[in-house]
Amino acid sequence: MDKEMTLYEDLQWRGLIKDISSEDLIDKLNNGHLTFYLGTDPTADSLHIGHYSTFLVAKRLQKAGHTPILLVGAATGLVGDPRGTGEREKADAKVIEENYTKLKAQVEKIFEIKCLNNYDWFKDVKYIDFLRDYGKYINVNYMINKDLVKRQLEIGISYAEFSYMLIQGVDYKYLHDNYGVTLQIGGSDQWGNLTTGIEIIRKLTGDEVYAFSIPLATDSQGKKMGKSEGNAVWLDINKTSAYELYQYLFNLEDSMMEAYLKRFTFLSRSEIEEIMAKHLEAPEKRIAQETLAHEVIRDIHGEEEYQKAVEISKALFSGDIKKIPSNLIGKIFNNVEHISVTEPENIVDFLANHNICSSKREAREFLNAGSISINGDKVTDNEFVIDKNIALEDKYVVIRKGKKKYFLGEF
């Protein structure tokens, strides 16, 4: 955060404030010491890049002297929140529990935030008590006018998902009563749930508490970065390797760069302006993308993993496959054409039979010209044999035709 900007001004400049419950919160953000929380449901076993943006807001508040709490909602995860597009599948309790354990470990490692589970206080709540103690205080008209509920009403919403905002509101009250929480933050699609908590606390205690929402992180097509959109980039290195994360960030469009540098990094205003000026002078160098990739990967996985990702990228560019960790071969070449290899084949037959070359004649021409590489080594011998003895990890054979066309053979 630049010295000349307050915390709130910095959040606004970065495009991280959409809705705010009260103007009084501005002064408290800039000068107070709030205990605040954000929540996520364990519907997957890892956070993704869409979550990362919101969690960085928590880090920004923490750096400014506020105290964060993460609520991983195993209880709310079993219920499911309205998406506005249709009912969620019924969650498996065992999977939710396993996901909670993994998310808790991930968050505590990457973000160093205290993590709680709302199942701990909901598991013993009796249904009649819940309706009497909380349901009496929230009007149905209030609930159906919330954006996601209103949209889902048109196609049908279950009583369970309709009740979700009330459960989240009770979470806020529990955290307010037991941990002194006076602020909740979350994605803009959660605004109705955030304000329900404020309403419950106000009616039951008279206390003034606050909320602000964060615009959702979107890709270049305006789609939400998340699991439900099918474009999730995971923070778990075993689900999305540092190399895959590097490639994702490095290949983002120029039009997204300034917004992403503001949103996904801790670089100051002057640093971002300088980077963007250099980037616009020579966009082909992708200075902004490289900076974004460095900042994000270093923050999530550490400097060493960033350097490995860069080295793998260089190795692929030069064709030096042997510099790539063999256990990452399958993931790195996941999107190239796969070839099933069942028995040893002569290289000429292999290239022709699997349509890498259009004919045996073309295969010989490419081999003689030094335009075929196997696992990074040029092959010119027409008698070369593709078999398991040359396979990486006893499984993969990487074939390169020309400078850029890759195929992955798999035993």
Distance CA 206, CA 210 (A): 13
Residue at which a domain ends, from 194, 214, 234: 214
Mean of the per-residue pLDDT values of the chain: 90
Whether 13 and 158 map to the same domain: the answer is yes
Nearest in space to 306 (alpha carbons), one of 291, 321, 318? 291
Whether 134 and 42 map to the same domain: the answer is yes
Q: Give the CATH number for residue 202.
A: 3.40.50.620
Query: Does the residue 324 lie in any domain?
Result: no
Q: Summarize pLDDT for 287-342 with one digit per residue, the tens.
A: 999 999 999 999 999 999 999 899 888 877 777 777 787 777 877 787 678 899 88
Q: Supply the pLDDT for residue 145.
A: 84
| Reported confidence tier of residue 231, pLDDT bands at 50, 70, 90 | low
Tell me the average pLDDT across 183-212.
95
Lowest mean pLDDT among 115-129, 213-227, 296-310, 370-384: 213-227
Q: Summarize pLDDT for 51-99 with one digit per residue, the tens.
A: 999 999 999 999 999 999 999 999 989 988 877 677 778 889 999 999 9
Question: Rounded to whole angstroms, what are the CA distances from 363 to 349, 390, 396, 407?
Answer: 8, 20, 21, 15
Distance CA 27, CA 56 (A): 21
Q: Supply the pLDDT for residue 323.
A: 76
Higher pLDDT, 223 or 103: 103
Does the pLDDT value for residue 285 go beyond 60? Answer: yes
Query: Does the residue 226 lie in any domain?
Result: no
Lowest mean pLDDT among 37-46, 164-173, 270-279, 389-398: 389-398
Whether 350 and 300 map to the same domain: the answer is no
Tokens of 176: 């307010």
Q: Give the CATH number for residue 352.
A: 3.10.290.10
Residue at which a domain ends, from 318, 351, 379: 318
Query: Does the residue 323 lie in any domain?
Result: no
Whether 64 and 94 map to the same domain: the answer is yes
Whether 143 and 251 map to the same domain: the answer is no
Does the pLDDT value for residue 2 go beyond 60? Answer: no
Q: Summarize pLDDT for 4-33 with one digit per residue, the tens.
A: 899 999 999 999 999 999 999 999 999 979
Q: Supply the pLDDT for residue 384.
A: 95
Q: Give the CATH number for residue 286.
A: 1.10.240.10
Tell me the average pLDDT across 236-240.
90
Whether 40 and 91 map to the same domain: the answer is yes
Whether 98 and 67 map to the same domain: the answer is yes
Whether 311 and 395 map to the same domain: the answer is no
Query: Does the residue 121 lie in any domain?
Result: yes
Whether 299 and 398 map to the same domain: the answer is no
Query: Does the residue 219 lie in any domain?
Result: no
Q: Summarize pLDDT for 202-219 with one digit per residue, the tens.
A: 999 999 999 999 999 887
Q: Supply the pLDDT for residue 314.
A: 84
Residue at which a domain ends, from 214, 229, 250: 214
Domain count, the chain: 3
| Reported confidence tier of residue 156, pLDDT bands at 50, 70, 90 | confident
Q: Summarize pLDDT for 247-257 with one digit per residue, the tens.
A: 899 999 999 99
Does the pLDDT value for residue 227 go beyond 70? Answer: no
Whether 345 and 252 map to the same domain: the answer is no
Q: Supply the pLDDT for residue 188.
A: 92
Query: Does the residue 223 lie in any domain?
Result: no
Q: Which domain holds residue 278?
A: 242-318
Q: Supply the pLDDT for residue 61.
A: 97
Whether 98 and 46 map to the same domain: the answer is yes
Query: Does the residue 327 lie in any domain?
Result: no
Does the pLDDT value for residue 230 go beyond 80? Answer: no
Distance CA 175, CA 121 (A): 10
Q: Supply the pLDDT for residue 82.
A: 77
What pTM does this model have? Answer: 0.83
Whether 154 and 111 map to the same domain: the answer is yes
Q: Which residues contact 10 (CB under 8 A, 6 or more apart)?
A: 1, 2, 60, 269
